């Protein structure tokens, strides 16, 4: 940061009252605050949680909303300084909260693409679609290195291998932040740190490893992001050897800020400090003193302000810590040029027609093609001929909600084609280039007939989920054990299931495949999932098998590859399990996956 910028920060900081400083440390949800309160309490940031949208969820609704908050924050008088708010959103695979956005494959698919240049282009498109809605800041990219597929956020991870995650970190940050000019948004790398390493894959659980392992596996991807100038970092819900990351002064203040020389600001996760202590008053002090600078407080932001002010007056939170936090927040706002930008309604990209445009969707379609991993192709079943008589079946064949997964329009995602506006389902993409394709009545494949169908494409897999509601939990005992090892509280959500075996999770999938094969029609299976699953029975029943992950809104990218217009190029960034006893990771002493890390067939195989 330049000397001139630092001087601006110090000049403004020197004019601020305690109330103004504490207000800057607050981020709250749009449903919990009115624009006038943003001015009254000097609020630093507002966000939209998953699925929280203004009006009819159109681009213009978002611009109008942020414009009202921004204008309120810039009203200066004797008791208020003009300090612009920064608005945050979980735009993690495109601007995925907004109707009509381009939805990219989730990170697990992008990891299979092994293409940092593509990641940079995806980030540029995402930035433009965020800017079109008048917003400033996305909580992306996720730099988790997922080591247990039972974790419900595995799909937010690029790979089990920190090298893949590291190769993407700087590229994605560069794509979002660019030169911090009019074409940029603020990036936020998350979750600091060790979120992908918890015992039993429990979301927000405990990562019990040495510091050397933490450094090698989970801290490593943050270095290229910091080198690229990432402006914000989000703290993680998980614990490290029993100690909550939200209250971990060593990891937050020493490792990240001092040793790694991160000079932006750290934001908490959603109500992240609430789990530090049963006393919210004590939790506030713990979080601030540990090194968190801005606090994501979903609703109870006024008690937070009261508690923190009281702590400063009593001396239980030093004024120096408050000044450090606000200095960092102002530094980011000045570095991003927020003080010099016009109101959101007047910004050059606001309401731009490129939102959800064909050119943006072509980038997403390319990403779909590159993310697909071919696991089986007996007797060169693929590529298919466009003139073949094809039956398309499976619960997810004509379901854009399923192919987009969680964090799409709603926090837990959607089902059907109604809510994901634009793009194409997998069925629609097939029908566009294979005119003799037919959608199975009821999607169950019972109408398969070798006299009418040469081959069937069956689209199977998981339904949408997000965060802890995607966990696979073998029993309550794992929660009891985790809770006994963590100092603080553990937030527990209802899990997705109790097994990584697809035939147990979704028996209807294997039933659909066998409905068709038993009638004499061979099956090409396309699996949608947020993680590798135990699919031995489905693989055995299929002539060809494709891991399509969660491809997003551009289902036609799958047809591009199935019919040979493009070859398969994706390689597994996660090892594929042989059974559900243990998630295999490359480098394990007993490494014995069904398909190894890096596996992926192509048409030349």
Q: Of 86, 43, 491, which Cα lies nearest the Cα of 304?
A: 43
pLDDT value at position 374?
A: 99
pLDDT tens, residue by residue, 399-417: 999 999 999 999 999 999 9
Considering the chain, what is the average pLDDT of its residues?
97
Residue 353 pLDDT > 80, yes or no? yes
Q: Considering 269, 366, 471, 509, which one is annotated as catalytic? A: 269
pLDDT tens, residue by residue, 252-281: 999 999 999 999 999 999 999 999 999 999
User: Using an 8 Å Cβ cutoff, are 568 and 603 in contact?
Assistant: yes
415: exposed, middle or buried (Cβ count in 10 Å: 0-12, 13-18, 19+)? middle
Any idea which residue has 């203040």 for tokens?
253
Mean pLDDT of 233-240: 98
pLDDT tens, residue by residue, 34-61: 999 999 999 999 999 989 999 999 999 9
pLDDT value at position 130?
A: 98
pLDDT value at position 160?
A: 98
For residue 335, name the pLDDT band (cuts at 50, 70, 90).
very high
Report helix, strand and coil shares of the chain as percent, to nearest 5. 40, 15, 45
Domain ranges of the chain: 3-346, 358-463+506-562
The set of residues, in sequence order, having a beta carbon less than 8 Å from that of 172 and lying 6+ positions away, is: 119, 120, 122, 123, 140, 141, 187
Q: How many CB atoms lie within 10 A of CB 213?
A: 14
Mean pLDDT of 230-242: 98
What is the arrangement of strands in the sheet containing 45-48, beginning at the earlier edge strand?
137-138, 86-89, 45-48, 26-29, 295-297
User: Using an 8 Å Cβ cutoff, are 171 and 227 in contact?
Assistant: no
For the entire predicted model, the pTM comes to: 0.98
Q: Considering 67, 160, 174, 467, which one is annotated as catalytic? A: 467
pLDDT tens, residue by residue, 57-92: 999 999 999 999 999 999 999 999 999 999 999 999
pLDDT value at position 437?
A: 98
Instruction: Based on the residue annotation, tell me whether 195 is a catalytic residue of this protein.
Output: no
Four-residue CA torsion sign, 381, 382, 386, 392: positive
Assign domain 3-346 one CATH number from 3.30.70.20, 3.40.366.10, 3.20.20.300, 3.30.1280.10. 3.20.20.300
pLDDT value at position 253?
A: 98
DSSP one-letter code for 497 = B
Distance CA 171, CA 457 (A): 35
Any idea which residue has 């208020």 for tokens?
80
pLDDT tens, residue by residue, 436-488: 999 999 989 999 999 999 999 999 999 999 999 999 998 888 888 888 889 99
Mean pLDDT of 553-568: 98
Residue 593 pLDDT > 90, yes or no? yes
Grouping H, G, I as helix, E, B as strand and the rest as coil, residue 202 is coil
pLDDT value at position 605?
A: 86
Alpha carbon of 540 to those of 196, 455, 487, 528: distances in Å? 31, 16, 46, 17
Distance CA 445, CA 457 (A): 10
Instruction: Based on the residue annotation, tell me whether 174 is a catalytic residue of this protein.
Output: no
pLDDT tens, residue by residue, 274-295: 999 999 999 999 999 999 999 9
Any idea which residue has 């530094």 for tokens?
331
Phi and psi at residue 206, in whole multiples of 5°? -115, 125
pLDDT tens, residue by residue, 522-550: 999 999 999 999 999 999 999 999 999 99
pLDDT value at position 477?
A: 84
Q: Of 328, 262, 343, which Cα lies nearest the Cα of 21?
A: 328
Dihedral angle over CA of 26, 30, 32, 34, nearest 10: 90
Grouping H, G, I as helix, E, B as strand and the rest as coil, residue 243 is strand
Distance CA 199, CA 220 (A): 20
For residue 1, name the pLDDT band (cuts at 50, 70, 90).
confident
pLDDT value at position 485?
A: 86
Phi and psi at residue 600, in whole multiples of 5°? 175, 120
DSSP one-letter code for 534 = B
Domain 358-463+506-562 is classified in which CATH homologous superfamily?
Glycoside hydrolase family 3 C-terminal domain (3.40.50.1700)
Dihedral angle over CA of 476, 478, 479, 482, nearest 10: 160
pLDDT tens, residue by residue, 160-202: 999 999 999 999 999 999 999 999 999 999 999 999 999 999 9
């Amino acid at each position: 940061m330049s000397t001139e910028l630092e001087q601006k920060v110090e000049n403004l900081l020197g004019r601020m009252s305690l109330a103004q400083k504490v207000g800057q440390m607050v981020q709250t949800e749009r449903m919990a605050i009115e624009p006038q309160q943003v001015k009254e309490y000097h609020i630093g940031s507002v966000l939209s949680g998953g699925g929280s949208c203004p009006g009819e969820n159109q681009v213009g609704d978002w611009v109008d909303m942020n414009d009202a908050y921004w204008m309120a924050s810039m009203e200066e008088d004797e008791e208020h300084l003009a300090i612009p708010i920064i608005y945050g959103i979980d735009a993690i695979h495109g601007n995925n909260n907004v109707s009509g956005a381009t939805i990219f494959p989730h990170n697990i698919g992008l990891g299979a693409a092994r293409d940092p240049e593509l990641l940079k282009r995806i980030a540029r498109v995402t930035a433009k679609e965020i800017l079109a809605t008048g917003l400033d800041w996305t909580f992306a990219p996720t730099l988790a290195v997922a080591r247990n597929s039972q974790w419900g956020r595995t799909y937010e991870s690029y790979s089990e291998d920190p090298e893949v995650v590291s190769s993407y970190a700087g590229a994605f940050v560069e794509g979002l932040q660019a030169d911090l000019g009019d074409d940029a948004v603020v990036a936020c790398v998350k979750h600091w740190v060790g979120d992908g390493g918890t015992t039993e894959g429990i979301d927000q659980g405990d990562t019990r490893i040495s510091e050397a392992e933490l450094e090698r596996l989970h801290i490593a991807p943050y270095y290229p992001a910091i080198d690229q100038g990432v402006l914000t970092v989000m703290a993680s819900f998980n614990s490290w050897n029993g100690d909550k990351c939200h209250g971990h002064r060593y990891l937050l203040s020493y490792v990240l800020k001092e040793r790694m020389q991160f000079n932006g600001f750290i934001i908490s996760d959603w109500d992240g400090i609430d789990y530090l202590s049963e006393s919210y008053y004590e939790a506030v002090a713990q979080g601030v003193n540990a090194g968190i600078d801005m606090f994501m407080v979903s609703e109870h932001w006024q008690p937070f302000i009261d508690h923190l002010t009281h702590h400063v007056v009593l001396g239980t939170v030093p004024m120096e810590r408050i000044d450090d936090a606000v200095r960092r927040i102002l530094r980011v706002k000045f570095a991003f040029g927020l003080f010099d930008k016009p109101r959101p309604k007047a910004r050059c990209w606001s309401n731009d027609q490129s939102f959800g445009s064909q050119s943006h969707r072509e980038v997403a379609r390319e990403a779909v093609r590159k993310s697909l991993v071919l696991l089986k192709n007996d007797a060169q079943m693929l590529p298919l001929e466009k003139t073949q008589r094809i039956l398309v079946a499976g619960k997810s064949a004509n379901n854009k909600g399923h192919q987009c997964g969680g964090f799409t329009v709603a926090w837990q995602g959607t089902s059907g084609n109604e809510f994901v506006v634009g793009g194409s389902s997998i069925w629609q993409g097939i029908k566009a280039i294979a005119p003799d394709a037919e959608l199975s009545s009821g999607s169950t494949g019972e109408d398969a007939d070798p006299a009418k169908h040469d081959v069937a494409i069956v689209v199977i897999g998981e339904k949408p989920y997000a965060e802890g509601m995607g966990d696979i939990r073998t029993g309550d005992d794992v929660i009891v054990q985790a809770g006994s090892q963590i100092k603080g509280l553990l937030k527990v959500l209802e899990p997705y299931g109790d097994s990584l075996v697809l035939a147990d999770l979704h028996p209807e999938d294997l039933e659909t495949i066998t409905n068709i094969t038993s009638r004499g029609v061979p099956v090409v299976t396309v699996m949608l999932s947020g993680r590798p699953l135990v699919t031995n029975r489905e693989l055995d029943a299929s002539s060809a098998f494709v891991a399509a992950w969660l491809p997003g809104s551009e289902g036609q990218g799958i047809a591009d590859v199935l019919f040979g217009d493009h070859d398969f190029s994706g390689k597994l960034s996660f090892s594929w399990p042989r059974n559900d006893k243990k998630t295999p990771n490359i480098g394990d002493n007993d490494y014995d996956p069904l398909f190894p890390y890096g596996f992926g067939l192509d048409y030349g195989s």
